[in-house]
Structure 1
Amino acid sequence: MILLTLLVLFSPLAIDIYLPALPLISSTFHVEHAMAKYTITCFLFTMGVGQLFAGPLADRFGRRHVALTGVVIYSASALLAWSAQTMEWMLTARLLQGFGACATTVAAFATVRDVFGPEKSGKMISYLNGAICFIPALAPILGSWLTQHYSWRANFSFMVCFALVSGSLMWFSLRETNPSQQSGLSTFNLTRYWDVIKNPSFLFHAGLCMLSMGVILAYVTSAPLVLMQQIGLSMDQFTFWFGINAIVNIVACLTAPSMMDKIGTHRSITFGILLIGLSGVLMVILSSDQTAFRFMLPIFISSVGFAWILGAAAGKALAPFGDKAGTAAALLGLFQMSGSGLIVALVQNLEMTPYWLIAIQMWLVVPALLIMFSGVGRKWHQWVLEP
């Protein structure tokens, strides 16, 4: 679990540590703040698309090899970002870094499915998500300190060091868990993807993960603009509120498995959707008076809903697949990263305030309730598990 935790930390670290430095990055390269935000969306896009390749490779060559390759790509691209002299250079580095992060993420979640099986994997994913949430709590604090004492480039130096240390531990300690590595001839066979996509249980639950992840992404990309530029918080104050939300997320993710045990995955997802829908209503109502607390309160509530949805839905999405766990994890990641990034980008093109844009993103999750309580929806949720 320690090694799996390290593997899943690569992605949030690459996003959260340099968030306080986004205004400085835009001023360094003389671009608008919106262009600096593209360093996040570019990373998420390639992280999602790259999983289409990382998943089958993990099934073919093993989780360990894919994880180590991802660490190498991640560290090299972080070094490239550290040395960037133009915005185009920076965006290219972030695109490459997304490929590295996707490999570590796929390897981690495929290993969870290998080791813990279909029934326990949802709980383990919730625990891993709880560990992931430590990064939004701690990384912006570290990033703020690095930026103020050195420069925004120091954030990417830290990513390189993290990759080197973690990669060394994995080289010596990470064991292969792939139960049946397959013939290279079928590595990128389209039927592998189709076998996963045509499964309605996967499609529905991966869609839930995508929409709930979109809520978090909409918040992350809008928070620096709202809190620092519109409300006028300092870098340290921004870090404080961002950290509070991360603590809420940590508690919610770590308690989600016990919630699943007590009320079941169906009710857990249902309550999560209701909380996110309520958050959208509060976001609009409280937007009349722009303060940090009024902006963050709906975010706190939606973070709890996100945690209750993600663990249960991700576990259900991966449950029907055994030997294709890598491919299934890759497609799940594609939905979560590229899918949510695309939806957020489309919504943010609307001529509305950030408050309304985040609220709309929250309300997109609500129609899933109709499917959850339909006969076919219940059948998808109780899909027969593959050993």
Structure 2
Amino acid sequence: MSNAAANNGNQMQIVLLVLLVLFSPLAIDIYLPALPQMAESFSVKHALIQDTITWFLFAMGLGQLFAGPLADKLGRRTVALGGVSIYALSALLAWGAQTIEWMLLARLLQGLGACATSVAAFATVRDIFGPNKSGKVISYLNGAICFIPALAPILGSWLTQEFGWRTNFSFMVLFGVLVYLVLAVAMKETNPKPSCEPVFRASRYMAVLNTPSFLFHACLCMFSMAVILAYVTSAPVVLIEGLGLSMNNFTLWFGINAVVNIAACLSAPKFMDKYGTYNALVTGILILGIGGILMLFLAQYQTPLAFMLPIFLSSASFAFILGGAAGKALAPFGDKAGTAAALLGLFQMSGSGLVVALMQRLDMQPHVMIALQMFIVVPSVFILLSKTGRKWHATLA
């Protein structure tokens, strides 16, 4: 009976974790169709409106360094509730913004709120499921996140056309309020040993960064995430400007890739259950390498499928790599799981963004750039196959 109660409790916690990880993709994807209206409303260039996304992502990456130690010190529940509060209030500020400066400030604050919910979620995964099962749960969470790019733009388009662009932010406010109420009632604190160290101490970060298994697996997450970012930033140039696809057709291909990603994120845990996270990582890296070869080979064919087929492979490999690597990156840490999760998020977001930004400045063709991003990950398979790599991957708390 107690086991059944524990299982039900864990299932409820997973539902709450899904809600927590939805905040960041929702804040980006829902208002993408409204960007032209927003530029017209604020009488600014489209590039300045795009900064509302850049500032949000910057705040999310930097905020990890603050949210992680706070999650270890104050608890996952406290940080989660605080993050949701900041998110909802900043969305309200964005809804009422009358100048682009206030909108950018609101998005900066919203990024901080979203990063707190993300850190709290992944640290809670480590608390509840431990180092061995956390990778599987992370894959499920990533599967839930993948629904947002497929569905949020559709909702945002309808809201924008029916009620105006500001309604997207009022929806974020409503979502934040509802989730806050659910968390306040149902979320339990999962960190049994809150940290007694000062919140912001360099040694906390260095203790994580000096762990080889963390650096290796965090870099795997970073470089595989860079492939996805390279695709997202290049797809409009290739599909719309290069191949002349309409916005509806572009959205269709974008949605198909989201479905592929969802299927991969849901199948990766089953693969890990049967074959282990080590084999999942090796498989994901090899699939990514095949995707890079296909990307270069198919570049001569000017069709959407020729571009998207390697992307489908990269989306599938991403689920296997992230599911296998993220859990192992957090594995050696107990009371520092929040700090480790924060640094992992910093690697994934700010690190991958930096990698893509540097690659884009080399002025390569999109196909070549994306293929190179894929190939960067491939040498890690040789590390995994080595004695040292196997030792790093086997590291547990």
The TM tier, using the shorter chain, reads: over 0.9
Secondary structure of the structure 2 residue equivalent to 1:321: coil
Q: Residue in 1 aligned with 2:273?
A: 261
Residues 95 and 169, structure 2, Cα contact 8 Å, conserved in 1 = yes
Q: Residue in 2 aligned with 1:349?
A: 361
Cα 1:60–1:257 shift into 2, 3 Å: same
Q: Residue in 1 aligned with 2:140?
A: 127
Q: What is the alpha-carbon distance in structure 1 between the residues aligned to residue 99 and residue 314 of structure 2?
A: 36
Q: How many residues align?
A: 384
Residue deviations 1:86-123, cap 9 Å, x none?
44443332222111111000100111111111111111
Query: Does residue 211 of structure 2 align to residue 199 of structure 1?
Result: yes
Q: What is the alpha-carbon distance in structure 2 between the residues aligned to residue 371 and residue 220 of structure 1?
A: 28
Cα 1:126–1:113 shift into 2, 3 Å: same
Q: Residue in 2 aligned with 1:80?
A: 93
Q: Give the aligned CA root-mean-square deviation in angstroms.
A: 2.0
Q: 1:179 Cα deviation (Å)?
A: 0.9
Q: 1:349 Cα deviation (Å)?
A: 1.8
Residues 78 and 93, structure 1, Cα contact 8 Å, conserved in 2 = yes
Q: 1:26 Cα deviation (Å)?
A: 4.7
* TM alignment of 1:166-205, pairs within 5 A: 166-183=179-196, 186-205=198-217
Residues 45 and 341, structure 1, Cα contact 8 Å, conserved in 2 = no
For 1:252, give the aligned amino acid: A
Q: Residue in 2 aligned with 1:165?
A: 178
Q: 1:236 Cα deviation (Å)?
A: 3.0
Q: Residue in 2 aligned with 1:17?
A: 30
Secondary structure of the structure 2 residue equivalent to 1:179: coil
Q: What is the alpha-carbon distance in structure 1 between the residues aligned to residue 90 and residue 167 of structure 2?
A: 14
Q: Residue in 2 aligned with 1:308?
A: 320
Q: What is the alpha-carbon distance in structure 1 between the residues aligned to residue 35 and residue 306 of structure 2?
A: 23
Q: Residue in 1 aligned with 2:159?
A: 146
Q: What is the alpha-carbon distance in structure 2 between the residues aligned to residue 279 and residue 152 of structure 1?
A: 37
Query: Does residue 149 of structure 2 align to residue 136 of structure 1?
Result: yes
Secondary structure of the structure 2 residue equivalent to 1:187: coil
Q: 1:357 Cα deviation (Å)?
A: 2.6
Secondary structure of the structure 2 residue equivalent to 1:133: helix
Secondary structure of the structure 1 residue equivalent to 2:377: coil
Instruction: Using the TM superposition, name which of 283-292 and 355-364 deviates more.
Output: 283-292
Instruction: Using the TM superposition, name which of 83-92 and 186-195 deviates more.
Output: 83-92
Please, which of 80, 84, 87 is the counterpart of residue 67 of structure 1?
A: 80
Q: Residue in 1 aligned with 2:9?
A: none
Residues 144 and 236, structure 1, Cα contact 8 Å, conserved in 2 = no
Q: What is the alpha-carbon distance in structure 2 between the residues aligned to residue 200 and residue 316 of structure 1?
A: 11
Q: Residue in 1 aligned with 2:131?
A: 118
For 1:208, give the aligned amino acid: L
Instruction: Using the TM superposition, name which of 14-23 and 237-246 deviates more.
Output: 14-23
Residues 29 and 86, structure 1, Cα contact 8 Å, conserved in 2 = yes
Cα 1:380–1:370 shift into 2, 3 Å: same
Query: Does residue 252 of structure 2 align to residue 236 of structure 1?
Result: no
Q: What percent of counterpart residues are identical?
A: 67
For 2:303, give the aligned amino acid: T
Residues 200 and 380, structure 1, Cα contact 8 Å, conserved in 2 = yes
Secondary structure of the structure 2 residue equivalent to 1:296: helix
Q: 1:35 Cα deviation (Å)?
A: 4.4
Instruction: Using the TM superposition, name which of 74-83 and 192-201 deviates more.
Output: 74-83
Q: What is the alpha-carbon distance in structure 1 between the residues aligned to residue 351 and residue 65 of structure 2?
A: 13
Q: What is the alpha-carbon distance in structure 2 between the residues aligned to residue 379 and residue 254 of structure 1?
A: 27
Q: What is the alpha-carbon distance in structure 1 between the residues aligned to residue 370 and residue 42 of structure 2?
A: 28
Cα 1:155–1:106 shift into 2, 3 Å: same
Residues 220 and 321, structure 2, Cα contact 8 Å, conserved in 1 = yes
For 1:371, give the aligned amino acid: I
For 2:27, give the aligned amino acid: A
Q: 1:31 Cα deviation (Å)?
A: 5.4
Q: What is the alpha-carbon distance in structure 1 between the residues aligned to residue 81 and residue 254 of structure 2?
A: 31
Cα 1:292–1:154 shift into 2, 3 Å: farther
Please, which of 332, 348, 365 is the counterpart of residue 344 of structure 2?
A: 332
Secondary structure of the structure 2 residue equivalent to 1:178: coil
Q: 1:70 Cα deviation (Å)?
A: 0.5
Cα 1:148–1:226 shift into 2, 3 Å: farther
Cα 1:93–1:350 shift into 2, 3 Å: farther
Q: What is the alpha-carbon distance in structure 2 between the residues aligned to residue 173 and residue 205 of structure 1?
A: 32
Q: What is the alpha-carbon distance in structure 1 between the residues aligned to residue 41 and residue 151 of structure 2?
A: 25
Secondary structure of the structure 2 residue equivalent to 1:181: coil
Cα 1:282–1:98 shift into 2, 3 Å: same
Cα 1:99–1:196 shift into 2, 3 Å: same
For 1:82, give the aligned amino acid: W
Q: Residue in 1 aligned with 2:64?
A: 51
Q: What is the alpha-carbon distance in structure 2 between the residues aligned to residue 290 and residue 105 of structure 1?
A: 39
Q: What is the alpha-carbon distance in structure 1 between the residues aligned to residue 247 and residue 34 of structure 2?
A: 8
Residues 348 and 357, structure 1, Cα contact 8 Å, conserved in 2 = yes
Q: 1:24 Cα deviation (Å)?
A: 4.5
| TM-score, length basis structure 2 | 0.90
Unaligned ranges ≥5, structure 1: none
Residue deviations 1:206-261, cap 9 Å, x none?
11001111111222233344434443433333322221111111110111011112
Secondary structure of the structure 2 residue equivalent to 1:186: coil
